[in-house]
């Protein structure tokens, strides 16, 4: 099989030359394009998630040989979570080569965070199956780059940090409320309010509920624990 021009260019951006191009094609095929003659990328996504996890675990142990598990775990989570995978996917313009069904394409699938993250993991699995673990590790470390060395010393997400802040003071966990949803279905914007039992609150708007919750929690943390 010979890759199309756009996939050949994408392979170059990845930094991996596929001996089995069909693996790359499958890795960028969304379930909305599945047919009797075309497999989707869901099984590859499952495998890629595990390959990425092992590479990140190894990299973190090497980067900080003395760090305890309590610090390594949140750093790991920050590097493998959906938002980070989607960010890397955008970095290499993965969205432009994903094969989507008509309805998914019309709904803005190429920009959806979950879809991009899943495809990124599938691509990692394709590299692993094509060239082995060393090839996958090389590509992952290159693409994640400074994210690995710059990951915060304590990379707990803001929601976790805010909840721990409240618990340490004997307060109930913070509550999150969706205040508004605006924009078209394919590109919504969610406004979330977070409030402590003391009454202190903040709001934030983002493209997903999770992102908005995290942003609101971070803003409230800055207010109560500057």
Q: Which of 40, 121, 130, 157 is catalytic?
A: 121
**Token reading at 23:** 């693996």
Pairing mode, if any, of strands 175-182 and 189-195? antiparallel
Q: Which of 40, 45, 49, 104 is catalytic?
A: 49
Calculate the alpha carbon distances from 26 to 29, 35, 57, 87, 109 in Å: 5, 12, 27, 21, 17
Q: Tell the residue number behind the tokens 């938002």, with chain if given.
A: 83
Residue of 119, 19, 157 lying closest to 3 (CA atoms): 19
Q: CA 54 to CA 103: how far, in whole Å? A: 35
Q: Is 49 a catalytic residue?
A: yes
Q: Is 39 a catalytic residue?
A: no
Instruction: Enumerate residues 6+ apart whose C-beta is below 8 A from 26.
Output: 39, 40, 41, 44, 122, 126
Instruction: Enumerate residues 6+ apart whose C-beta is below 8 A from 110.
Output: 95, 96, 98, 100, 116
Helices (H) and strands (E) in the chain, counts: 11, 3
Residues serving a catalytic function are: 49, 121
């Amino acid at each position: 099989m010979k890759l199309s021009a756009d996939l050949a260019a994408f392979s170059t951006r990845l930094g991996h030359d596929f001996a089995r191009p069909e693996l790359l094609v499958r890795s960028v095929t969304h379930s909305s394009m599945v047919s009797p003659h075309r497999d989707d990328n869901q099984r590859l996504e499952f495998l890629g998630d595990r390959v990425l996890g092992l590479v990140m675990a190894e990299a973190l142990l090497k980067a900080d040989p003395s760090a305890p598990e309590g610090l390594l775990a949140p750093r790991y989570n920050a590097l493998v979570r959906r938002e980070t995978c989607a960010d890397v996917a955008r970095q290499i313009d993965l969205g432009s080569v994903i094969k989507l069904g008509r309805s998914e394409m019309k709904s803005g699938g190429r920009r959806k965070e979950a879809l991009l993250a899943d495809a990124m993991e599938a691509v990692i699995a394709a590299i692993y199956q094509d060239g082995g673990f060393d090839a996958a590790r090389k590509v992952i470390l290159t693409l994640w780059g400074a994210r690995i060395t710059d990951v915060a010393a304590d990379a707990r997400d803001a929601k976790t940090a805010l909840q721990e802040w409240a618990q340490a003071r004997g307060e109930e966990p913070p509550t999150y409320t969706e205040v508004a949803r605006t924009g078209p279905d394919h590109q919504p914007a969610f406004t979330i309010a977070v409030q402590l039992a003391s009454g202190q609150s903040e709001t934030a708007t983002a493209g997903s509920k999770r992102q908005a919750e995290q942003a609101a929690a971070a803003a409230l943390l800055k207010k109560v624990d500057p």
